[in-house]
Amino acid sequence: MSQEIKDRFRRFVAPTYGRFPITLDRGEGAYVWNTDGKRYLDLGGGIAVNCLGHAHPEISQVLADQSSRLMHCTNFYHFEGQAQLAENLAKRLGQGRVFFCNSGGESSEVMIKLARHYGQAEGRFEIITAENSFHGRTMAGISATGQGKIKDGFAPLLPGFSHVPFNDLDAVHAALTPATVAVMIEGVQGEGGIRPVSADMMLGLRRLCDEHNLLLLWDGVQCGHFRTGSFQSFQSILGDQLGDFLPDAIGMAKALGGGFPMGAVWIAEPHAEVLGPGTHGSTFGGNPLACAVANKILEVVDRDDLAANATALGHFFVNELAKLREKYSAAILEIRGLGLMIGIEMGGGFSSFDDGKPTALQWVSALHEAGMLTIPAGSSVVRFLPPLNLTREEAQAGLDLFEQTIQKIIA
Ligand SMILES: Cc1ncc(COP(=O)(O)O)c(C=O)c1O
């Protein structure tokens, strides 16, 4: 069965992804099963998407209920679910309004279009982003992304993007030109290997943007939605220093729909009408099904205090991983984490790693054998992006599988 499905993938599915040889059949909570019945602990969470795990009964129920009531209507009409969701998201941030789309890449597009429209009258259009950043796979997204390998082969890219070293405010200053209109940044670089923006950098960027009339565009696609222990990562990182800090726009997707595809951009009130009627749109953006799921996720996260769970389990993971690092210093080189967004820089060159694959892929494959899903980043980072409702026992089970795998690889 599994081989037959893989063969059909090879014949009929576009080969844009390097897929692991795993054929999944079903999931429940933090676990998934393949078509042969093998169980995996899913610490990858579909790359930070499955925030309530798999097959959450309340999500399944709300999908079923909403689909039998009103599955889709165009954005030419009003309906309660979208109003409720926009209000619920905005209340967690500040005065502003929400545009709904379907993915993270589209949320980047919205922020880039917002910046272009904002600067249009003055001929300003340039956006500064960080090296090693990731903002999606659309043409604007890859133009904004600060990684050559994502852009290669797609010239000419959208003009007007420059990339500066991450967490380097002086470099942003130096990159300013009279045409600069915005700075776009991930709160925690995800694809770049789990690297948080520093509090000083955030506050410095906010000041710089205010001084130069630039928009501060925040890509919260991967690091948002409570993953770092707060709704958005700047709230976690700034903590007591938060004050009235707010970006001018925040891109969201991934965990927003917990597996139902959706994205959104919150736009701060002073700029909320920059993209006026007719300037942007999406057939499916914020449709009734997506909004019903997203509203239910927010209700469950609040009710079950999952932001606090993300903080507590994040500390647990990082502390326990630090102990493993002491024991296996050739295997674990560095641990970077904020809540349940954890990156582990792994060592390579072990004798069982013999087929020339990047270190991260070797470890992720070895963890598959042990019965655990994780996500590679860059050449040597293994990411844990588990559900926010993971239990301490499940976290411990993941750590045990991780240690067993290390022991096997270094033996
Ligand atoms: C920070 C960030 N922005 C944008 C995207 C693109 O999101 P999507 O794949 O939903 O288009 C991603 C996806 O990994 C991401 O991590």
Hey, what domains does the chain have and what are their CATH numbers?
2-56+305-410 (3.90.1150.10), 58-303 (3.40.640.10)
Enumerate residues 6+ apart whose C-beta is below 8 A from 141.
105, 108, 109, 135
Best residue among 129, 134, 262 to mutate for probing ligand 1's pocket (most ligand atoms within 8 Å of CB) is 134
What is residue 306's three-state secondary structure?
helix
Q: How far apart are alpha carbons 105 and 75 in whole angstroms? A: 20
Pocket test for ligand 1, best of 189, 194, 221 (most atoms within 8 A of CB): 221
> How buried is 356 (Cβ within 10 angstroms: 0-12 exposed, 13-18 middle, 19+ buried)?
exposed
Q: What are phi and psi of 193, to 5 degrees?
A: 105, 25
Whole-angstrom Cα distance, residue 204 to residue 223?
Answer: 20
Mutate to test the pocket of ligand 1, among 137, 184, 254 (most ligand atoms within 8 A of CB): 254
Atom nearest to 191 CA in ligand 1: 16
Q: Is the CB of 193 under 6 A from ligand 1?
A: no
For residue 275 the two structure tokens come to 């993209």
Residue-level pLDDT, tens digit, the chain, 411 residues:
789 999 999 999 999 999 999 999 999 999 999 999 999 999 999 999 999 999 999 999 999 999 999 999 999 999 999 999 999 999 999 999 999 999 999 999 999 999 999 999 999 999 999 999 999 999 999 999 999 999 999 999 999 999 999 999 999 999 999 999 999 999 999 999 999 999 999 999 999 999 999 999 999 999 999 999 999 999 999 999 999 999 999 999 999 999 999 999 999 999 999 999 999 999 999 999 999 999 999 999 999 999 999 999 999 999 999 999 999 999 999 999 999 999 999 999 999 887 789 999 999 999 999 999 999 999 999 999 999 999 999 999 999 999 999 999 999
3-state secondary structure of 56: coil
Q: What angle do CA 244, 90, 139 make, to 5 degrees?
A: 100
pTM over 0.85: yes
109 lines ligand 1 (CB under 6 A): no
